[in-house]
Amino acid sequence: MAANMRGLTQFIADIRGARVRELEEKRINKEMANIRKKFKDGNLDGYQKKKYVAKIIFTYILGYKVDIGHLEAVNLISSSKYSEKQIGYLAVTLLMHENSDFLRLVVNSIRKDLDENNEVHNCLALHAIANVGSSEMAEALAEDVHRLLISPTSMTFVKKKAALTLLRIYRKRPEVIPAAEWALRLVSLMDDQDLGVVLCVTSLIMALAQDHPDAYAVCYTKAVDRLHRIVIEHEYSGIYTYYKVPAPWLQVKLLRLLQYYPPTEDTTLKNVLNETLQIIMTSSAEPSRNVQHNNAQNAVLFEAISLAIHLDTRSPLVDTAAVLLARFISSKETNVRYLGLDTMAHLAARSDTLEPLKKHQGTIILSLRDKDISVRRRALDLLYSMCDIDNSELIVGELLRYLKVADYVLREEMVLKIAILTEKYACSYKWYVDTILQLISAAGDHVGEEVWYRVVQIVTNTEDLQEYAARVVFEYLKTPSAHESLVKVGGYILGEYGHLIANEPGYSPLEQFQALHSKSQFCVAPTRSLLLSTYIKWVNVFPEIKSQLINIFERYRHVLDAELQQRACEYYALACLPDDNEMLQNVCEEMPPFPPRVSGLTSRLNRKMADTEDKRTWIHGGREMNLEQQMTTLMRSKQAEVPVNESTTASGAADSTMFNALAGLNLTMPSEAGESGAIPRLTVGPSIDKWYKKLTYSAEGVLYEDVQIQIGIKSRFQGYLGQLAIYFGNKVSAPLTSFTSTVYVSDSEAISATFAKIPANILASRTQSQQLLQVECKKVFTAIPILTVSFLAGAHQSISIRLPITVTKFFEGVKFGQADFFERWKLIGGSPRESQVVFPIALDAAGHIDLPHNRRIVSGNHFEILDGIDPNPNNIVGAAVLHTSVDGKVGCLLRLEPNREAKLCRLTVRSTSEEVAAEVQRLMEAALRTE
Amino acid sequence: MIHAVLIFNTSGIPRLTKFYTPLHQSSQTVVQKIFSLISVRPAGLCNFLDAPELEAFLGPKDDSNERWRVVYRNYATLYFVFVVDGAESELGILDLIQVFVEALDRSFENVCELDLVFHFDEVHHILAEIIQGGLVLETNVEEINLSVKSALKARKDSFVSSHPLALGSGGSRNGGLQTHLNWLTDRLTGVSGR
């Protein structure tokens, strides 16, 4: 566009022609002055405004500060001409930032462009919100953006932009997006035909799922399914292959998304995922000649390895990955070495055993001397992560050696890491003290305060160490070039524990004093104050050098520094007290041990910010650190779900220490807030309960039906296993797309229900599809699994219904003779292992007890009906045994006594398990009772 | 997330600067800082660089895992630089740079530095079809090209409607640009670096 604005082209040419920077600045100032004048005079038409704004943009791009043209840009946005509008939007996104006051002026224009029936205008508006959207804008426009995203008539390129814009809005103002409510609808977009849309929607879902993992849980299946379709079924449109790699960005995104969830429990998903990862790893084994192809393939591969590590560090996949990584870290390509080390650090951070990595320790240590600083950094991170008690001396030794030649920018971090490793994996105190002092003397300026604080803490709290520490630090002080940090450590330790070594030759009080005091003149005031404190301690324990010390206090009483002067005066007074005064002794008591506290070092390394940004899924450091990290994230997410109006959290959330204290509380609290969000709300309808009730005592039938869809069930149970064939029939003349079915089980310890394979996501018009659900009863359960079906048929629909999987489905009838039955009946005895209830029942048309119906229900609940035990033929007696895979078998007996006159029925259930008795009584009553 | 997209030449003169995160200092100093970090790196080193130095400009990233990372690629006289955080795949970004360059190439037919100078607005429009608000919008060169073309068409239409008597189309860069470049070459010969 610049091309057809001659003035602009001329301006650019002039600037390019400027031989020195002064000339360029001069030309720009002239132009800006001219533009300012034109703007002031007003009366500009659209073209002129566009031209001047374009010049301003160009100036901005050159790196000059521009402070004019904002208002004109705002005007251009509301122009009806696309060319002017486009420049206006460009200026707004470049010149303004989200807090700019001018943005208030464009909200209405943006809304107008969003609502317009013109896709290119929609796109400009979306793009502007995504780039500079403020929280105010987020609040005003969230609804419009959401509408563009989910509207079935939106073009794909609008949907893509809308998805990312919604993400921006969410990051700015999470509360304007009802994330949980929109979950199913948004996740359904992951089934879009267009892989570009899927990519953008996945970015959005990734952010939302991190904050609302339960509501978005179904995205896990979607992601696995999509990966499977891309990698194994090769189901993608050709234009999305990039140098022969199918949709690498999408693959990477999906693999990353899966790492934000804990490893799945669902065996079907697990198998599909393993198969997919396996294929990715084997197909990447042979590198090709094309750089682009290799890059894309490796991008997917590295992410796949990360996911494999995340899923299970003990899986054969990870073994394969470890072999690949070992090859990568000695690759000729620097990028591959870099990523190999990075991913290996991930493995080290998660793995229970570091043995496979230690085989490559030599190569890794060598990487510390790589020619590229990026690689050196990764090697450092990896060594830090793979250090343990066995190799700590070696690794720390290497790091110390490397520290002396390391890049300036790396040193501070290295010092911190060495200090942490030394403390964590010290096998002897002696080694700890030696290493840390060596570290301080070698790194000098790069030693942060927290490093020497920590040494002092540890020495003070470890009695065995004090004498040794005092001796070593004294040796260091005798060297001519002891660093100031060392002087501080020396000052503190000799002051406290110098007396422990004072009797040995060469460590006399006078020698200690001379060694320390000779350094004093090179130190800054705070260090000298510390030394004064050391001296007053010495006055107490070393009377032989008291006169020298008093001399020093005397001199310092006249220095200009207020702190020094005050200390000197006070210490002087203290030292000059008569000998029998106990004051000095009391003041100079030995320091009590520090209260045990977490090392300040790691927290310094891993400070976290709580915001809505995507996080890495692991941190550098060993396995324990990662576990800790997961705990804190977990606590944070729990914290987030607890309603804010709760008095405890509201008061303390801002304060971080309070926050931590409360986080512990939240963990023990049943997190009702979290759970209620996850349980699907049951669909209600006149026949739903009837259908369900019928299916509780029959093996097949209709579970749900409306004008669009019919759901039928056929079931089979054998021991503690069951199989449900669920039939979905599409009754309308259009396909149901983004068809998703999930089963919600609240107590996965007691019962598991998984689909045998990932269901297809389209249900063609007037067809039926079948899905097999595998069920296993592990323990007695009372919570009924819930099936949620959602699909797009014009609008987004979702149905949640109970599945007819009750505990009695896992019963198997047993035949008893009269004697056996009564023996067991008595053995079990009454309450609490008996559960009894009386409830109204319906009679048949003739006014008799509906015996066939009752028998059907009892035998439908898998009881064996025992005839001839009860003398009354209307009564029913049954026996069964429950099969569970974890808790074994549980027997259960039942007696049903209907009374025609009272239209009532008494039900007695006895079982060796109280839970079973109560649950069976409840289920049978529900089936038999009449309202 | 992608926090910045920069293009500068081997003398450090910026040709494109786009920040998706508010800056703490002037963009020129950021470009200079990044240029000084990258230009000293010889070819053959990896395309990724941890840049804790950028904290002063883009805000602190205290966590060592969330560090600012620079992913860059050198094409002839130009450096293409993306500043990202830990949530992005490094190689993915490297590929994205390639996509960006291919998209520019598609639009400008053999893109060169001059195109970026004289069509800075167009470069931004193309970038807008690839990255939106710091997130990857589209990675497929064909799709990107289609979107760029549809915007171009909208611009042409609006030009024609406002200049009913104009001959040819003002928005077409091929017609207009060729003459402009020829017209400029004379003036530009002998002009160095800038």
Q: Is A757 annotated as a binding residue?
A: no
Measured between CA atoms, how close is A337 to chain B, in angstroms? 9
CA closest to A12 among chain B residues: B118
Structural domain of B137:
2-145
Lookup: tokens for B126? 């193309």
| Per-residue confidence (pLDDT) for residue A721, from 0 to 100 | 92
Q: Are residues A880 and A795 in the same domain?
A: no
Residue A806 pLDDT greater than 50, yes or no? yes
pLDDT digits (tens, 9 = 90+) for A396-439: 888 888 888 877 777 888 888 888 888 888 878 788 888 888 88
| Domain stop point among A573, A588, A603 | A588
Q: Are residues A703 and A760 in the same domain?
A: yes
Average pLDDT score over chain A: 84
Q: Structural domain tally of chain B? A: 1
Measured between CA atoms, how close is B82 to chain A, in angstroms? 16
Is residue B168, in this structure, part of any structural domain at all? Answer: no
pLDDT digits (tens, 9 = 90+) for A536-545: 888 888 888 8
Is residue A839, in this structure, part of any structural domain at all? Answer: yes
Q: Is A507 annotated as a binding residue?
A: no
Q: Are residues A831 and A697 in the same domain?
A: no
Measured between CA atoms, how close is A231 to chain B, in angstroms? 17
Rounded Cα distance between A134 and A855, Å, is: 68
| Domain stop point among A805, A828, A854 | A805
Nearest to A298 by CA among A284, A309, A286: A284
Q: Are residues A777 and A812 in the same domain?
A: no
Contact assessment for residue A734 and residue A767, using Cβ atoms and an 8 Å cutoff: no
Is residue A879, in this structure, part of any structural domain at all? Answer: yes
Q: Structural domain tally of chain A? A: 3
Is residue B156, in this structure, part of any structural domain at all? Answer: no
Q: Are residues A545 and A457 in the same domain?
A: yes
Banded model confidence at residue A671, pLDDT cuts 50, 70, 90 = very low
A746-781 exposure pattern, b = at least 16 Cβ within 10 A, e = fewer = eeeebbbbbbeebbebbbeeeeebebebebbbbbbb
Contact assessment for residue A789 and residue A705, using Cβ atoms and an 8 Å cutoff: no
Interface of A with B in 586-605 (CB under 8 A): 605
| Per-residue confidence (pLDDT) for residue B175, from 0 to 100 | 36
Tally the C-alpha atoms within 13 A of residue A501's C-alpha that lie toward its C-beta.
24
The order of strands in the sheet holding B69-75 is: B14-19, B2-9, B78-84, B69-75, B48-50
Banded model confidence at residue A597, pLDDT cuts 50, 70, 90 = low
Contact residues, chain B, for A247 at CB < 8 Å: 139
Q: Are residues A568 and A472 in the same domain?
A: yes
Whether residue B155 and residue A83 make contact (CB cut-off 8 A), yes or no, is yes
Residue A308 pLDDT greater than 90, yes or no? yes
Contact assessment for residue A61 and residue B17, using Cβ atoms and an 8 Å cutoff: yes
Question: Phi-psi region for residue A763, left (φ > 0), alpha (ψ -120 to 50) or beta?
Answer: beta
Residue B189 pLDDT greater than 70, yes or no? no
CA-based torsion, A334, A340, A346, A352: positive or negative:
negative
Rounded Cα distance between A552 and A712, Å, is: 95
Is residue B59, in this structure, part of any structural domain at all? Answer: yes
Which CATH number goes with the domain that contains A858?
Answer: 3.30.310.10
Banded model confidence at residue B99, pLDDT cuts 50, 70, 90 = very high
| Per-residue confidence (pLDDT) for residue A879, from 0 to 100 | 92
Contact residues, chain B, for A166 at CB < 8 Å: none
| Per-residue confidence (pLDDT) for residue A659, from 0 to 100 | 39
Q: If you average pLDDT over residues A482-494, what whole number do you get?
A: 86
Contact residues, chain A, for B41 at CB < 8 Å: 372
Rounded Cα distance between A221 and A259, Å, is: 13
Contact assessment for residue A145 and residue A129, using Cβ atoms and an 8 Å cutoff: yes
Q: Which of A63, A65, A157 faces B14 most closely, judged by CB atoms?
A: A63
Enclosing H/E stretch for A769: strand A768-777
Q: Are residues A845 and A726 in the same domain?
A: no
Q: Are residues A780 and A823 in the same domain?
A: no
DSSP A690-745: HHHHHHHSSSEEEEEE-SSEEEEEEEEEETTEEEEEEEEEE-SSSPBEEEEEEEE-
Q: How far is CA B52 from CA A413, A617, B55, in A?
A: 11, 20, 6
pLDDT digits (tens, 9 = 90+) for A232-262: 988 888 788 888 889 999 999 999 999 999 9
Whether residue B27 and residue A63 make contact (CB cut-off 8 A), yes or no, is yes
Rounded Cα distance between A195 and A216, Å, is: 20
Rounded Cα distance between A148 and A799, Å, is: 24
A227-240 exposure pattern, b = at least 16 Cβ within 10 A, e = fewer = bbbbbeeeebeeeb
DSSP A242-264: ETTEE-HHHHHHHHHHHHTSPPP
Q: Are residues A690 and A797 in the same domain?
A: yes
Q: Hey, of A62, A375, A446, A602, which one would you mutate to test binding to chain B, going by the most B CBs within 10 A of its CB?
A: A62
Q: Are residues A798 and A867 in the same domain?
A: no
Lookup: tokens for A666? 């939240």
Phi, psi (degrees; rounded to nearest 5) at B70: -110, 125
Measured between CA atoms, how close is B168 to chain A, in angstroms? 12
Q: If you average pLDDT over residues A102-110, what whole number do you get?
A: 87
| Per-residue confidence (pLDDT) for residue B183, from 0 to 100 | 39
Is residue B151, in this structure, part of any structural domain at all? Answer: no
Rounded Cα distance between B18 and B133, Å, is: 10
| Per-residue confidence (pLDDT) for residue A657, from 0 to 100 | 41
Q: Which of B65, B142, B180 faces A619 most closely, judged by CB atoms?
A: B65
Lookup: tokens for A805? 């999987």
Q: What angle do CA A457, A460, A466 make, to 5 degrees?
A: 130
Q: If you average pLDDT over residues A710-736, what whole number do you get?
A: 91
Contact residues, chain A, for B1 at CB < 8 Å: 613-614
Rounded Cα distance between B11 and B1, Å, is: 28
Structural domain of A881:
808-928
Interface of A with B in 241-270 (CB under 8 A): 242, 247-249, 252, 256
ipTM of the complex: 0.84
Q: Which of A3, A196, A248 faces B177 most closely, judged by CB atoms?
A: A3
Q: Is A6 annotated as a binding residue?
A: yes
Residue A724 pLDDT greater than 70, yes or no? yes
Contact assessment for residue B122 and residue B151, using Cβ atoms and an 8 Å cutoff: no
Per-residue DSSP letter, A388: -
| Domain stop point among A750, A777, A805 | A805
Q: Is A65 exposed, middle or buried (0-12, 13-18, 19+ CB in 10 A)?
A: exposed
Which CATH number goes with the domain that contains B81?
Answer: 3.30.450.60
Q: Is A778 annotated as a binding residue?
A: no
Lookup: tokens for A728? 């979905």
Lookup: tokens for B80? 């293409």
| Per-residue confidence (pLDDT) for residue A652, from 0 to 100 | 37
DSSP B113-179: HHHHHHTHHHHHHHHHHHEETTEE----HHHHHHHHHHHHHHHHHHHHHH-TT-SS-TT-HHHHHHH
Q: Are residues A826 and A736 in the same domain?
A: no
Q: Is A161 annotated as a binding residue?
A: no
Lookup: tokens for A677? 């969000």
Rounded Cα distance between A261 and A281, Å, is: 21
Q: Does a cis peptide bond (omega within 30 degrees of 0) precede residue A832? A: yes
Rounded Cα distance between A917 and A908, Å, is: 9
Q: Which of A130, A296, A608 faces B63 most closely, judged by CB atoms?
A: A608
Contact residues, chain A, for B65 at CB < 8 Å: 606, 616, 618-620
Q: What is the dihedral of CA A55, A61, A66, A69, to 10 degrees?
A: 40
| Per-residue confidence (pLDDT) for residue A193, from 0 to 100 | 87
Tally the C-alpha atoms within 13 A of residue A149's C-alpha that lie toward its C-beta.
28
Phi, psi (degrees; rounded to nearest 5) at B135: -125, 150
Q: Is A7 annotated as a binding residue?
A: yes
Contact assessment for residue A118 and residue A83, using Cβ atoms and an 8 Å cutoff: no
Residue A676 pLDDT greater than 50, yes or no? no
Q: Are residues A582 and A722 in the same domain?
A: no
Is residue A520, in this structure, part of any structural domain at all? Answer: yes
Rounded Cα distance between B178 and B174, Å, is: 6
Is residue B32, in this structure, part of any structural domain at all? Answer: yes
Q: Cβ of A57 under 8 Å from any chain B Cβ?
A: yes
Q: Which of A306-315, A339-348, A637-646, A861-870 has the lowest mean pLDDT?
A: A637-646
